[in-house]
Amino acid sequence: MKLKSFVEGSWFESSSAGAELTDAVTGETVAEISSDGVDFAAMAEYARHVGGTKLREYTFHQRAEMLGALAKFLNDKKPELYALSTSTGATRTDSWLDIDGGIGTLFVYSSKGRREMPNDHIYIDGPPEVIGKEGTFIGQHIFVPLRGLALHINAFNFPCWGMLEKLGPSLLAGVPAIVKPASSTAYLTAKVFEAIVESNILPEGAVQLICGSTGNLIDHLNCQDVVAFTGSKSTADHLRQHPNIIAQSVRFTAEADSLNASVLGSDAKPGTPEFDLYVKEIVKEMTIKAGQKCTAIRRIIAPENVVGDLIGELSKRLAEIKVGHPGLKDTDMGPLAGLDQREEVRTRIGELIPENEMVFGDLEKFTVTGADKKRGAFLAPILLQSQNPMSDESVHSTEAFGPVSTVVPYSSIDNAVELANRGEGSLVGSIFTHDNEISKRLIQGIAPYHGRVLLMNRDCAKESTGHGSPLPHLVHGGPGRAGGGEELGGIRGVLHYMQRTAIQGSPASIGLVTESNSDPE
């Protein structure tokens, strides 16, 4: 089966031979992919002139209603999406994060759009500024939708959530999207996309899909367009330096690699609830999605006097993890998304090994249940221990995008802060302590290097959504290595697809522009 792109309102199948996409569990071919033959310039024009024009006819509330209706429609499609998700290596829990998580994001944006945005076309930003002494001349900031398109380039690890979490804010803003999923798991994205088309809920031209390369599309972008990229830092760096992105000042946001740290407070000794919560969270973060989560804990920053106990406890729990066919009920961890991906992770572990000792796991010797270990992209959890955390760079810069994490000992709070920040910018960090003073010092130290920080203790554990779950309400993104972008985060995520303009004039003329927009109802 060759995956089709959705171009100018119709399905397009390339006549060229496509690259083969394989099942993560069996290694068998699932689909082929190629976008050869797509007219990318026409695609961009269609998005702008058909999709953008139609979307902007609706108010924020009307577009929010569409997102809600779409989320409901996709909810009914879940059984077929879950079935296909297994081929990406996802267990039921992994699929829940990807599929239900993606649909949930649409629901949240639908609700936020109706509650926090006006039933109109302009979003008012703050109160008016009185400029003239007599009050006849004032200023007002407004946000209006860009008159371009959003190119959404996504990573392989969340084929459903990755698409929907970007579509929610961009469609709510009134900007049409061209979705480009990562090739290796694009068959699941394409299935979700098929359902979006079938639903007939979105106006014509609101969404298009590229299965395969983006060809020369970036050459056709202009200052009204946005590129929202998720993937590796190297691809992000390459794309943001594209001559046309620079020449046209195309908005470019990236969510990239992240060496996320989790810090255990010195009060959280073995036997305390925080120590137990820490162990549980690390095992979860290492094994959910086989560690292929941009937010996964890669560096376990713990007081040097508890490192021994911690490694002992983690090893005990990791030994209980059942690696196997993701479709089996008692499998805890499925394979990586593909054999290439596994090779990549093994290479990264090789780069980490000289300075970091492998204290749990084995690259070859482990059991796989219900599947052929040789054909599937299986890997067991690997725990490393940093030997020289202050002099070694690899632990702070090498991302093994799999079930791999490294214990990094620290000697003082200042030292813990320094180590966490040596990730040079992360999506998320977490702090496990029941001492609010420790918590305060750590947060002041690490917040500038993080997009989100979880403060975990016994008081919030029951309701906590955990270290690794991005939420539509809160910032997802981070400085530096994490890409320097900010997706999601409530209405701020929507405003990213809009232009902030200061309008100046008399109170009456400005009032006319803004009057129906000031009340969200």
Q: In this complex, which beta carbon is closest to ligand NAP, that of residue 337 or of residue 456? A: 337
| Least distance from ligand NAP to the Cβ atom of residue 210, Å | 9
* Minimum distance from residue 109 beta carbon to ligand NAP (Å): 17
Residues facing 215 on adjacent strands: none
Of 211, 281, 294, 355, catalytic: 294
Q: Does 405 contact ligand NAP by CB under 6 A?
A: no
Query: Which regions of 97-185 does DSSP assign to beta strands (E)?
Result: 123-130, 138-145, 150-153, 177-180
The residue with tokens 């397009």 is 12
**Which residues in 256-362 belong to E strands, given as ranges?**
261-264, 299-303, 356-360
Chain centroid to Cα 82, Å, comes to 19
From 214, 386, 421, 430, residue interacting with ligand NAP (rule: CB under 6 A): 214
The distance of closest approach from Cβ of residue 235 to ligand NAP in the complex, given in angstroms and rounded to an integer, is 3
What is the C-alpha R_g of the chain? 24
Site string for ligand NAP, 38-77 (x = CB under 6 A): ----------------------------------------
Residue 482: CB minimum distance to ligand NAP, A: 6
Question: Among 160, 190, 352, 427, which residue sits at the site for ligand NAP (rule: CB under 6 A)?
Answer: 427
Q: Report the C-alpha gap between 253 and 236 in whole angstroms.
A: 9
Binding of residue 401 to ligand NAP (CB under 6 A): yes
CB burial of 452-471 (b: ≥16 within 10 Å; e: otherwise) equals bbbbbbeeebeebebbbbbb
DSSP letter at 88?
G
Residue 420 backbone phi and psi in degrees, to 5: -60, -40
Binding pattern to ligand NAP, positions 192-211, x when CB under 6 A? --------------------
Rounded to a whole number of angstroms, the minimum distance from the CB of residue 255 to ligand NAP is 3
Residue 182 lies near ligand NAP (rule: CB under 6 A): yes
- The residue (of 75 and 235) whose beta carbon lies closer to ligand NAP is 235
Question: Residues 479, 483, 488, CA angle at the centre, nearest 5°?
Answer: 80
| Min CB(385)–ligand NAP separation in Å | 22
The answer to whether residue 294 forms part of the interface with ligand NAP (CB under 6 A) is yes
Q: How far apart are CA 176 and CA 57, in angstroms?
A: 12
Q: Which residues contact 440 (CB under 8 A, 6 or more apart)?
A: none
The nearer residue to ligand NAP, 327 or 425, going by C-beta atoms, is 425
Taking the complex as a whole, how short is the minimal distance between the CB of residue 96 and ligand NAP, in angstroms? Answer: 17
Cβ atoms of 469 and 298 within 8 Å: the answer is no
Q: How far apart are CA 285 and CA 78, in angstroms?
A: 24
Residue with tokens 């740290």: 261
d(CA 160, CA 180): 12
**CA–CA separation, 220 and 44 (whole Å):** 7
Q: Return the number of the residue (43 or 64) whose C-beta is nearest ligand NAP.
A: 43
Q: How far is the CB of 266 from ligand NAP (least distance, A)?
A: 30
The Cα–Cα gap between 257 and 397 comes to 9
**18 vs 303, beta carbon nearer ligand NAP:** 18
Q: Which stretch binds ligand NAP (CB under 6 A): 124-132, 148-156, 277-285, 448-456?
A: 148-156
Residue type for 315, please?
Answer: S
Active site residue 294: yes
CB contact at 8 A, 244 and 251: no
Cα-based torsion angle of the residue sequence 194, 195, 199, 203 in order, rounded to the nearest 10 degrees: -50
Taking CB under 6 A as the rule, does residue 157 contact ligand NAP? yes
Residue number closest to ligand NAP, CB atom: 231
Q: How far is the CB of 212 from ligand NAP (least distance, A)?
A: 7
Count of residues that bind ligand NAP according to CB under 6 A? 24
Least distance in angstroms from the C-beta of 293 to ligand NAP: 7
- Closer CB to ligand NAP, 225 or 399, in the complex: 399
Interface with ligand NAP in residues 300-359 (CB under 6 A): none
| Lookup: tokens for 359 | 């204290």
Looking only at residues 122 through 141 of this chain, which bind ligand NAP when binding is defined by CB under 6 A?
Answer: none
88 is an interface residue for ligand NAP by CB under 6 A: no
Instruction: Find the binding residues for ligand NAP in span 224-283 (CB under 6 A).
Output: 230-232, 235, 239, 255-258
Using the rule CB under 6 A, which residue among 156, 187, 193, 252 binds ligand NAP?
A: 156
Query: Which residue is associated with the tokens 């400085």?
Result: 479
Catalytic residue among 32, 255, 274, 487: 255
- Binding segment for ligand NAP (CB under 6 A), chosen from 38-46, 175-183, 355-363, 488-496, is 175-183
Rounded CA-CA distance 250/121 in Å is 23
Which residue stretch of 155-163, 260-268, 323-331, 357-365 sits at the interface with ligand NAP (rule: CB under 6 A)?
155-163
For the chain, what is the total number of helices (H) and then of strands (E)? 18, 21
Q: Report the candidate in 311, 517, 301, 310 with the shortest Cα–Cα distance to residue 411.
A: 301
Which C-beta is closer to ligand NAP: that of 48 or that of 481? 481
d(CA 334, CA 71): 27
Does 360 contact ligand NAP by CB under 6 A? no
Q: Which residues form the catalytic set?
A: 255, 294
Return residues touching ligand NAP (CB under 6 A): 153-157, 180, 182-183, 214, 230-232, 235, 239, 255-258, 294, 399, 401, 427, 482-483
